[in-house]
Structures are given as structure tokens and as C-alpha cells.
Amino acid sequence: MAKDVIETTDRALSTIGKALAHPARVELLGLLAEGERCGCEFVPVVGRDPSVVSRHLAVLARAGLIVARRDGVRMMWRLASPDLPRVLSCLARLRCQRGAE
């Protein structure tokens, strides 16, 4: 039983790691840290094609990092957890500390 839990956790962390592996997705998370946004708002801000933005949002959603809700014809996106900016900050500090060694 414990092995199943560990394997599930490993898969979840791997999925999250893969989702964070692209700078555009990290940028999208940074924008969502400021608050909920319509998917249409990302295109002019990040300067990418709408289909590319949509694919990045889908990767983040599959990883459980963001969630969407429909508001009429608009898709509104937000972080799945208010703790996510703090987690990303910790990860960034780990990288900075490692680079300082």
C-alpha cells in the first residue's frame, strides 16, 4: 500500500516538474499569482499565439497547478493553490543557492 502512495506521489511530482520546465508556463503562473485572468488576456501579455497559450494552460491544468471556470464565453484561470507562489519562490531560491556554490 505505501509503495502505491509513493509511486503516485512520484508521478505527481514528475508531472509538476515537467509543467514547470518551460519558461512560458512559469511566466503564466507568475501572471496568475496576481489574480484570476481570462485566457484571452495572456496572448498580448506573453506575446505568443493563442493556440500556444492554450496548450501551455492545458499542461499546467493537467499538472493540477491551475484551474479554470467558464464565465459566459470566457475561460477564467486561477492558481489551484494560494501557496503556489511561495513554492515557486522556494524553488527559485534553491537554484540561486546552488549557483552560488
Residue 20 to residue 88: CA distance in whole angstroms: 9
Rg (CA), the chain: 15
Contact 37, 68 (CB under 8 A): no
Q: What is the mean pLDDT of residues 50-62?
A: 95
What CATH number does residue 84 fall under? 1.10.10.10
Those residues whose C-beta lies under 8 Å from the C-beta of residue 11, and which sit 6 or more positions away, are: none
- For residue 27, what is the DSSP state? H
Residue 48's pLDDT band, with cuts at 50, 70 and 90, is confident
Domain count, the chain: 1
pLDDT reported for residue 72:
96
Mean pLDDT computed over 54-78: 97
As a whole number, the mean pLDDT across the chain is 88
Question: Could you tell me if 74 and 40 are in contact, meaning their C-beta atoms sit under 8 angstroms apart?
Answer: yes
Domain that holds residue 41: 2-99
Q: Residue 6 pLDDT > 60, yes or no?
A: no
Residue 17 has pLDDT above 70, yes or no: yes
Model confidence pLDDT, tens digit, residues 72-89? 999 999 999 999 999 989
